[in-house]
Amino acid sequence: MNPQSTAECRKLHDHIAAGTETAQTATVAGRIMLRRVQGKLAFATLQDAAGRIQLFAPAKVTPDYEGFCALSLGDWVRVSGLIMKTRTGELSVKVQEWEQLAQARRAFPDKWHGLADPDTRFRQRYVDLWVTDKARATFQMRSEMMSLTRRWLEDRDFMEVETPVFHPVPGGALAEPFSTHHNALGIDLFLRIAPELYLKRLVVGGFERVFEIARVFRNEGISTRHNPEFTMLELYWAYADYGDIMELVEELVAHLARLLQGTTHLSYQGRELDLTPPWPRRSFSELLAAHSGLDVNLRTPLDELRAHCTDRDISVQNHWGPGKLLLELYEKTTEPELWGPVFVCDYPKEVSPLAKDHSENPGWVERFEAIVAGRELANAFSELTDPDEQKARFEHQAAQKDVGDTEAMSVDRDYLRALEFGLPPTGGLGVGMDRLAMLLADVPNIRDVILFPTLRPESL
């Protein structure tokens, strides 16, 4: 028989008076978290996925009373008995039948302090989850966040799809991929760094609104904000542009904040964060000028841009053009000072090989990044749909790769062929869902929102 959840018991019976007993029998199951045996009467605290409830076990009533008292902290049990409230008002299940379901053979972490060592928490998440309330709550929240996101997008006629994790040509982002090998085909494959190019192929195919919640893989450093595999929401919306995407992002994030936190006025790590739409829109150039104090643009002589970079301890590489130099200056001087939420709009074309040329500013593209709580939360653009222009951009990337840029893109010929069949004007978006979860759970480390973060293997 399936047990009732402790939360349900509480909901149904919490109103009864102290010292009274209902006529109803409940069956609950979970782990023994605490135990207080006092001679002929024992109490235990049972925890299940939904919460905790007390077990009330008088020797007269409880079968194999000795055995019940001998249960270890961490043991799983199923208990049936009348719902009652103790004299002190604690809702309890009287132990009239019980059964041990699983044994905890390893010693229980300190029942008061729990687990403090982050290493143990991440490596033995199965322990962390049942002794650290905040960890359990965070992952439940994350699950709900994913579910709400899907529902919200589906309500707007977006269709969820799944595209390959193995890519013959890594693409869709500027990042170093992991590579692997398929024996039967005798080919090298790359784990995707972004699903972007496949999703846009689907728009070519006529799916006008698609999204994927994609696990992506980037062979880069690990930090409080980076895990080598992480979850990205990407969506593509035919007939939309990056302005429409901005509205979508602020609405989606505000919606999640309202439902998960009850408000759009959040506090993240002690600092206020107001996610109420609309979020400010600022141009990249304007912000760069304001924060760096520099009067620079794409026509500024290269030597001058390089000098500004060098002054700021940026190690300049020879093949960098003005766009890349401006981006470096922005990342050094401007981005760290932004808290947000803010949409940073219009990036240099040189660093945005998949975004559409800006309608008014040559050399720039219609792209934005959403900065929220000082971090890049989303990256989006009006997609580049012109196959000739895309080919030129790919070739420029490939040339960068040839001179040693390991993160540059390769030419994806099939993607170019797809564009030749016609991609309508399309707005595209990528959101770092792990970072969004960090924000909504108010946790400082990406490992707090990834169940099994990447760690060096333990030698057991």
- The correct pick among 25, 27, 72, 276 for binding RNA (CB under 7 A) is 72
Q: Are 55 and 43 in contact (CB under 8 A)?
A: yes
Query: Which residues fall within 8 angstroms of residue 331, CB to CB, at 6 or more apart?
Result: none
Q: Is 302 in the site for RNA (CB under 7 A)?
A: no
Distance of closest approach, residue 94 Cβ to RNA, in angstroms: 9
Selected range binding RNA among 145-153, 202-210, 220-228, 412-420, rule: CB under 7 A:
220-228
Nearer Cβ to RNA, position 204 or 408?
408
Selected range binding RNA among 52-60, 135-143, 183-191, 274-282, rule: CB under 7 A:
52-60
* Binders in 29-48 for RNA, by CB under 7 A: 34-41, 43, 45
113 vs 120: CA distance, rounded Å = 14
Q: Is 111 in the site for RNA (CB under 7 A)?
A: yes
Reduced to 3 states (helix: H, G, I; strand: E, B; else coil), residue 312 is coil
Q: Is 446 in the site for RNA (CB under 7 A)?
A: yes
CB atoms within 10 A of CB 359: 9
226 vs 238: CA distance, rounded Å = 31
Nearest to 207 by CA among 460, 426, 401, 434: 426
What is the three-state SS of 217-286? ECCCCCECCECCEEEEEEEEEECCCHHHHHHHHHHHHHHHHHHHHCCCEEEECCEEEECCCCCCEEEHHH
Nearest to 54 by CA among 62, 42, 46: 46
Q: Is 225 in the site for RNA (CB under 7 A)?
A: yes
Distance of closest approach, residue 385 Cβ to RNA, in angstroms: 21
Nearer Cβ to RNA, position 123 or 204?
123
Q: Are 309 and 328 in contact (CB under 8 A)?
A: yes
Per-residue string for binding with RNA, 315-354, x by CB under 7 A? Answer: -------------x--x-----------------------
Pairing of strands 166-167, 187-191: antiparallel
Distance of closest approach, residue 159 Cβ to RNA, in angstroms: 23
* Binders in 420-439 for RNA, by CB under 7 A: 430, 432, 434-435
Pairing of strands 265-268, 271-274: antiparallel
Q: Is 386 in the site for RNA (CB under 7 A)?
A: no
Copy the structure tokens of residue 357. 């040329």
Element (H, E) at 429: strand 426-432
Q: Is 292 in the site for RNA (CB under 7 A)?
A: no
Per-residue string for binding with RNA, 135-174, x by CB under 7 A? Answer: --------------------------------------xx
Distance of closest approach, residue 156 Cβ to RNA, in angstroms: 22
Distance of closest approach, residue 114 Cβ to RNA, in angstroms: 6
Site size for RNA (CB under 7 A): 77
Cis peptide before 341 (omega within 30 of 0): yes
Q: Is 378 in the site for RNA (CB under 7 A)?
A: yes
Selected range binding RNA among 184-192, 213-221, 272-280, 360-368, rule: CB under 7 A:
213-221
Query: Which residues fall within 8 angstroms of residue 225, CB to CB, at 6 or more apart?
Result: 375, 435, 446
Nearer Cβ to RNA, position 104 or 159?
104
Q: Is 447 in the site for RNA (CB under 7 A)?
A: yes
Query: Which residue type sits at 377?
Result: L
Q: Is 275 in the site for RNA (CB under 7 A)?
A: no
Nearer Cβ to RNA, position 8 or 407?
407
Per-residue string for binding with RNA, 115-134, x by CB under 7 A? Answer: xxxxxx-x------------
Q: Are 348 and 331 in contact (CB under 8 A)?
A: no
* Binders in 91-110 for RNA, by CB under 7 A: 92, 106-110
